[in-house]
Chains A and B, each alone.
Chain A
């Protein structure tokens, strides 16, 4: 049987962070209940089509899944258990914000065997958190993580943001070290990208320049290495093999089914998405083919995604999978070896950490070199 990851999108938040341009908003109980009902209906619908699959990862993303409360999440997860084929001990992740983590939530999640939490801590300076319109303080974040541990959640991933307005490298390292004291198994560290139309963009913030941002990234890499973390993807680090199994699907072109407004799927060879409108989803509008971007076929997607990981590209695997020669890419990648951006060992091609943060430039060059 084929393995499948399930992604459930919860597009609700208590309030919007200033940098966020994902599909999420503050909703009332009634809307949330409607939406959960539609999710359950949709899960049942899809399970019929997934008889040949066995689910080994489930991921609740958002928005803020924890915001809708434990009981609703339990209802959804139980539906999944009851309808899909599920592997024993699947990885079940729920994204949480520190301000919505409480005993009730944790007890409920524990009840349905949620075994991984991804907590948006972002920074450990209250003024920075406030400037991003986060709803919690550093202290609250720490208490939330400790509470989760108390209730038996050990596989915890924390999010950190860097290259923020008014942030210097010491602040980044201070945040990181405070997070490390909480002993997470996994860290995701993202550079801020100011998206058009967000409140942050309207503030026209002064951001750390390219060199400082790169120094921040390098400092994060070094600190996490010193603390025994493995840098397994551009923005992701894990201890003792605690990779995010679900997220890894995105990078190795494994199949995943996304259910909910704006959720994306790679299923049965097709990429498709639900519209970013909960009313569409509630009224049963089906997912449609994902927005096409010119110049990308499956082979190019593979290269783009595989180079995000420390595993890199196995050129044999590429040639077998796509029945095409990897040689043109070899030529393009080779020139970056001497600059310390690319490494090559036998048939494996990877970006170095220095290469990771300029991966867009490398990728656009490599991909356009064969057009």
Chain B
């Protein structure tokens, strides 16, 4: 039997700007896994968007060889984790693939609440948490105080933690030795049937889906027939190997305890769900690994192209993104106002924004999106139950016996001083307070039951704003509850605009409707006639604004018989008109839709 005691699998937990990527680069250097010249700055984050937003969207992993002070060579796998509440499940699976985690703490600022969520996930997953005190080069660095803080708050020994500066390359060696000494070696059984945990996957146009996995038991090799236990999909392995920092490194076989990849001409990442267990078809395990959860969209919205003729491009782009993102779902829909588009489902608002941004950036599409919505459960008077994520499909109130909205169980970890800011904010959002637990003398955890509808739009941003970024949020879908829901229709000059309808709790409907009216008023240019903007529930108008009629526009002279200026001006005006959507009699610029969507940004 092969020895696993030279393998170490770990993750890095760090606050966004505490230098996770820089530390990863330094560790790679220690192993001489990549030469300085080859090293693209911060290898682990290789999507542009990730770099700009300073967040890691998709997990990646690298394998390093490290010659330790004891003279032995160790195989060390670093598994990266995403850092946002929308991707908590992905984080938990990445952590489940490790035996240890480095907790990077800023030597000046100390422990930040945002890292606590992931730290607790790591502790829950049974990982050895190794604190590292970073940025000791800063003048305000106080490593002793910070170590004490780590022990007080998290309860892990920290006094021997390495004191480093990832930026300056100080004491990086200590971190490697710490990993070797304190991250437990894997303890799976190579002779048992194959069990591998999928923690990520990525579509490659030549190889098909590359599945990133951690082998718990057994082995995997080319030619083996494997099965994804949750999805039931079966494939024949074409290639397997290690994840070298600069690319794939094919091997004959991978064994229990190792981290690597396999390919099998898999067409869609949706066949290889994160958290699923890979086993051998001919010698299957009876026990899949615990913790699998199918990706579940929580937020839906309509996505359209500004230029209606780009619809096929949008479809192609979504299909390409879906190859790499099993959590993204979409199906065609059409709107009177916006033409043909897609109803898309997302894990959360950040996920939605990332997809929109990638569509615009990588596929050069100009998008118009509709207001996001959660999935409502409607019991109709005839007893049937329908699920509705689109205001367009919302039944007539007369046909509704009971309307239900989804709730989440939310937990907020925050320094105690911000509790007074958070509570009213939750109350405004119809949340039910459950309890408050003191984690230590300063840090508290609040538990709420919240309508999903209230959490998806702006809650996370508002929370960060009111806690100086110190609070962390975690939530999971709990149940559907009876709710007094209404569908609000928006009317322009008397004509209903389907793309602007929304479903809301009746207590929230008026405020929201009024703000949408105001936004539209500010973003619809004056037309040749007065345009009433109305929000209505059923036939009853609940909010109204008016765009005044245009009174004067720019008039070009025809001086000296030169009518080209006039023609150009008219042509410009006609061009401008083409960028508008004709909604009934009213010309509405795309910005108006965007403004309505950004309602919660202020």
Contacts and interface: CB of A to CB of B under 8 A. Distances in A.
Interface of A: 7, 9, 22, 59, 61, 190-191, 193, 210-211, 213-214, 217, 234-235, 249-251, 256, 258, 262-266, 271, 273, 290-291, 293-296, 301, 304-305, 308, 336, 339, 341, 357-365, 367-368
Given A7-B561, A293-B564, A339-B529, A211 B570 contact: no
Interface in B522-573: 526-529, 549-564, 566-571, 573
A288 B333 CA distance: 52
21 contacts: A22-B559, A61-B559, A190-B555, A193-B555, A210-B551, A213-B551, A256-B561, A258-B561, A263-B560, A264-B561, A273-B562, A290-B564, A293-B567, A304-B570, A305-B558, A308-B558, A358-B551, A359-B553, A360-B554, A365-B577, A367-B570
A304 B561 contact: no
B553 A361 contact: yes
A305 B549 CA distance: 24
Nearest to B558: A250
A364 B573 contact: yes
Contacts of A59: 560
Contacts of B568: 293
Contacts of B527: 361
A61 B559 CA distance: 9
B560 A7 contact: yes
Interface string B149-166: 000000000000000000
Contacts, number: 107
Contacts of B577: 364-365, 368
Give chain B's interface secondary structure class: loop
Interface string B577-588: 100000000000
A358 B552 contact: yes
A250 B561 contact: yes
Contacts of A363: 570
Identify the 5 closest CB pairs spanning chains A and B, nearest first: A214-B551, A293-B567, A364-B573, A214-B552, A264-B562
B37 interface: no
A55 B568 CA distance: 30
A364 B571 CA distance: 7
Q: What is the interface residue range for chain B against chain A?
A: 20 to 34
Contact of A234 (B528, B555, B567): B555
Contacts of B556: 193, 360
Contacts of A293: 564, 567-568, 571
Interface of B: 526-529, 549-564, 566-571, 573-574, 577
Nearest to A295: B571
B528 A358 contact: yes
Given A249-B561, A258-B560, A273-B562, A358 B553 contact: yes
A125 B567 CA distance: 34
B463 to A, nearest CB: 40
Given A213-B551, A304-B566, A365-B528, 6 more contacts: A210-B526, A264-B561, A295-B571, A304-B563, A360-B569, A364-B577
Nearest to A8: B560
Contacts of B529: 339
A291 B549 CA distance: 34
Given A191-B555, A217-B552, A361-B553, A264 B571 contact: no
Contacts of A210: 526, 550-552
A197 to B, nearest CB: 14
Nearest to A356: B555
Nearest to A290: B564
A211 B559 CA distance: 26
Contact of A250 (B554, B563, B567, B569): B563
Nearest to A357: B552
A295 B577 CA distance: 14
A68 to B, nearest CB: 17
A251 B553 contact: no
Nearest to A195: B565
A153 B574 CA distance: 44
A234 B555 CA distance: 9
Contacts of B567: 293, 296, 301, 304
Given A264-B562, A293-B571, A235 B552 contact: no
A258 B566 CA distance: 18
Nearest to B556: A193
A362 B564 CA distance: 18
A265 B560 CA distance: 9
B563 A305 contact: yes
A217 B553 CA distance: 12
Nearest to B550: A358
A193 B566 contact: no
Contacts of A364: 570, 573-574, 577
A132 B561 CA distance: 25
Given A360-B573, A362-B528, A9 B552 contact: no
Contacts of A266: 561
A305 to B, nearest CB: 7
Contacts of A295: 571, 574
Contact of B555 (A271, A290, A357, A365): A357
A46 B544 CA distance: 64
Contacts of B551: 210-211, 213-214, 357-358
Name the residue among A258, A308, A368 with the largest chain B CB count within 10 angstroms. Answer: A368
B258 to A, nearest CB: 65
B563 A301 contact: yes
Contacts of B560: 7, 9, 59, 61, 258, 262-264
